[in-house]
Structure 1
Amino acid sequence: MSTRISTNMVYNASLHTMLGKQASMNKLQEQLATGQKLVSAKDDPVAAGTAVKLDRAVAALGQYAANADRVHNRLGLQENALAEAGELMIQVNELTVQANNPALSDADLKSIASQLRAIGDQLLAVANSTDGAGRYLFGGSNDGSAPFTRSGNSVSYNGDQTQRRVEIAPDTFVTDALPGSEVFMRIPTGDGTLHAQPGAGNSGTLVINGYALDSQGGAWDGSAYSLHFSSASDYEIRDSSNTAIATGTYTEGEDIHFAGLRVQLLGTPAAGDSIDVAAAPSRDVFATLDALCVALEAGATTPTAVAARSNALQAGMRDVARAREVSIDARAAGGAQLAALDSAAGLREADEVSMQTTLSSLRDLDYAEAISRYRLESSALQAAQTVFTQMQSMSLFNALR
């Protein structure tokens, strides 16, 4: 069998070779001009698809970083606000201790009350702090308007209880600033577990000096109890149903033990006086400050009134101490979130470096290798052109001459 090689076939083969070399050189020129190995998806569909997925992942890391920046700013401002609130609490405690001095006149006490009210205004301003972007720190998710408003001497909370969770890295979340209800409103009173207060109709000079849980006499069952005095020296312990469960003789300054509790009293009771002990309720810090101011502004002209004011001041100091503890706990929680932000930043940075390295290996051109291939293709094109030129002058008639 013989194969006929026509002139057209030779021409077409040579032309196809030159066009192929020119196409290769054009592609290499485009790669060298852009610095990209993947000029279009058809160059390497698998690599192009992988690169698109990595682009999306890098963009997601950028969004995580933006989320982290915003929440970092808010948590940092929360830290500053809580630190300021803690300083204000210290001032309140110092003024309350000062007010407990029996040598102070009613005018002195009213002056202290004025200072406490000014501190209350400062604390309200702190509670209504913003993040610099017009959003309130302590409003929960309802942070478009001031979370705290004053009406007379009472303050109400208008935010909600939501604490946002913000994603700052893949499957890594931190919580935003605390809602104000948890920082300024729901403050345990007393020692945080118990709250003791004198009966409303007390006519003696009893002052509550201290109280706490006490293992003596068994464990406290969480019920409310009261001490009722039938005279200046005799008392009985009553449970929540007003049933007497024990009796005793009162000695000033000595602990009274009952039902897993311990109470220490000072002063002299009158018949009918009582002391109530129960689980500590919650109260907002603004109400605590107002109660202190009311006690200082009322004046005290009788021993009974002096004792009532002393009890109010003692209760106020305990409640302010609890408010400061809540503030410290909130700062610690915020600090933990700030630490998590720092850790997530390191994770994002490491992930981005890995992704960018992979993207570079998929897309970026190896200039040395590309230039070598370009020179090789250029030489091959020149050779093809030379062959084609020589072939144009070839003819069978030349061989027959």
Structure 2
Amino acid sequence: MRIATAHTYDTAIANLQERQQKLSISQQQLTSGKRVNVASDDPTAAARAERALASMARHEANQRTLDASRNVMNIASGALGNATDLLQTARETLVAAGNGSYSDGERKALAMKLSDIRNQLLSVANRSDGGGGYVFGGQGSSSPPFVDGAGGVVYQGQGGETLASTDEHLNLSVDGDQIWLKGKTGNGVFNTAPAGNTITSTPNTGTAWITSGSVASPTQVPYPAATQPGPTYTVAFHVTGATTTYDILEDGNPISSGQTYNTGKEIGIPGKGMSVAITGAPADGDSFAITEAQNNLNIFNSLDSTIAALKSTNQPAGAVMQAVNSGMTQIDAAMRSIQGAQSAVGEQLNRMDGIETRIADLKLAAQTEKSNAEDLDMVAAISGFQNQQTGYQAALQSYASVQKLSLFQYING
């Protein structure tokens, strides 16, 4: 078979170009550190890398959302801590106001202190989240959600929570309406309050006052009632000479009668698992009521009523002690609401640590998948590049030698 010289040259040049192209591709891979630089290098691997890249972007977005939620929850936790401190100060102020030797002017000064605490609480409730919103704005509010008006503080936000659009439950706000205006009243189970004098149809005229009460047997307590409103229990007093007795009524019907009254001694509601203490000297016809606790405690309005009571002048000792005791009961109820919210926020912050770990693990898995799909094995690539380089140099030398093998060069030589 005859092989033409031109064919030999063409074959050699094509081989050199092929080797040079492979060498160029290897050099590009070594420079970029990637085996797949364009989709045509390996369409399947390129698709895997693209899916992994999209997954990484989602996880990074979830991380940014988590950071935003954590920021709001940290602000909320700090605000609720501030509120607890303020309420504790208010409680201590009320304890001082119960000093029987204080004058009306001294109690008025304490009322002014309570008023300042109340205003600070309002500022805490309207705390900004640093991004144009409000921590306790519920489902969103472009202006402070708690507004102080003539009738007291009202909530102008939308109740509920703003949640991030992720698979995880991440809050971007807190339900301020529930925390600040819908706490559980009384001792959390029932309320106590003066019910008025049944003879004169006026407020109680004696010096007696009632405590917030306690639960002795939870299984007997009639609250929460199956039907609303729940039953009302009344402790009604009768004074004859030096003898004071009381009756206990359920919705106006006697369930205990003619019990001897001893100031400060616990009075149990028969068969209901509840007891209260009444201290002082009740007048004939004075009465006190026990009703079911409700979810409508407005922290600010409660402080307003206590402040108004302390500012009143010429109040009998019983009325002062009742105002102080009722105010302390309401503050305790408010602190329960605040501390419950603080626990919920703390739990969310703890849960976020776990979410952050999962996001980091998923992001690392996506990065590993992307690396496996497109990254270059540097050791194998360098070895291959050196082999290709050696082969290319040999091919060049071979071609240079073949070029000299012609009849004309032989004759000339």
Q: TM-score, normalising length from structure 2? A: 0.86
1:340 equivalent to 2:351? Answer: yes
SS in 2 for 1:52: helix
Contact 2:186/2:212 (8 A) holds in 1: no
Q: Distance in 2 between matches of 1:142 and 1:354?
A: 36
Greater displacement, 352-361 / 141-150? 352-361
TM-aligned CA distance change 1:245 to 1:4, over 3 Å: farther
Structure 2: gaps of 5 or more residues? 197-202, 226-230
Within a 5 Å distance, the mapping from 1:250-269 to structure 2 comes to 250-252=260-262, 253-258=264-269, 259-260=271-272, 261-269=274-282
Q: Deviations over 1:252-304 (max 9, x none)?
A: 23332224122221222223322111111222110111011111111234x4x
Q: Distance in 2 between matches of 1:67 and 1:325?
A: 30
Shift of 1:9: 4.7
SS in 1 for 2:191: strand
Shift of 1:191: 0.6
Which residue of 171, 175, 190 corresponds with 1:194? 190
SS in 2 for 1:246: strand
TM-aligned CA distance change 1:151 to 1:398, over 3 Å: closer
SS in 2 for 1:174: coil
Shift of 1:13: 3.1
Q: Distance in 2 between matches of 1:5 and 1:133?
A: 81
Letter in 2 for 1:381: Y
Within a 5 Å distance, the mapping from 1:71-220 to structure 2 comes to 71-152=69-150, 154-166=152-164, 171-200=167-196, 201-215=203-217, 218-220=220-222
Which residue of 351, 363, 380 corresponds with 1:369? 380
Shift of 1:182: 2.1
Greater displacement, 375-384 / 212-221? 212-221
Shift of 1:398: 10
SS in 1 for 2:333: helix
Shift of 1:206: 2.1
Shift of 1:40: 0.7
Q: Distance in 2 between matches of 1:214 and 1:335?
A: 31
Q: Distance in 1 between matches of 2:380 and 2:211?
A: 87
Q: Distance in 2 between matches of 1:62 and 1:380?
A: 46
Q: Distance in 1 between matches of 2:108 and 2:408?
A: 129
Q: Distance in 2 between matches of 1:153 and 1:122?
A: 18
Shift of 1:227: 2.1
Q: Distance in 2 between matches of 1:315 and 1:362?
A: 70
Shift of 1:239: 2.3
Shift of 1:8: 5.5
2:232 corresponds to which residue?
224
Q: Distance in 2 between matches of 1:318 and 1:231?
A: 28
Letter in 2 for 1:244: P
SS in 2 for 1:81: helix
Contact 2:138/2:160 (8 A) holds in 1: yes
Greater displacement, 253-262 / 284-293? 253-262
1:299 equivalent to 2:313? Answer: yes
Q: Distance in 2 between matches of 1:331 and 1:81?
A: 9
Which residue of 247, 265, 269 corresponds with 2:257? 247
SS in 2 for 1:165: coil
Shift of 1:392: 4.6
Q: Pairwise CA RMSD of aligned residues? A: 2.6
TM-aligned CA distance change 1:185 to 1:237, over 3 Å: same
TM-aligned CA distance change 1:203 to 1:374, over 3 Å: same
Contact 2:90/2:117 (8 A) holds in 1: yes
Shift of 1:217: 11
Greater displacement, 179-188 / 374-383? 374-383
Shift of 1:114: 0.7
Q: Distance in 1 between matches of 2:168 and 2:407?
A: 80
Letter in 1 for 2:47: G
1:308 equivalent to 2:316? Answer: no
1:352 equivalent to 2:354? Answer: no
Which residue of 296, 300, 316 corresponds with 1:286? 300
Letter in 2 for 1:212: S
Letter in 1 for 2:204: N
Q: Distance in 1 between matches of 2:327 and 2:344?
A: 26
Q: Distance in 1 between matches of 2:352 and 2:318?
A: 51
SS in 1 for 2:164: strand
Q: Deviations over 1:38-75 (max 9, x none)?
A: 11111111111111111112112211221122111111
Shift of 1:369: 2.6
TM-aligned CA distance change 1:178 to 1:226, over 3 Å: same
Structure 1: gaps of 5 or more residues? none
Q: Identity of counterpart residues, as a percentage? A: 29
Contact 1:159/1:179 (8 A) holds in 2: no
Q: Distance in 1 between matches of 2:179 and 2:222?
A: 28
Q: Distance in 2 between matches of 1:125 and 1:286?
A: 11
Letter in 2 for 1:183: I
1:329 equivalent to 2:340? Answer: yes
Q: Distance in 2 between matches of 1:127 and 1:162?
A: 15
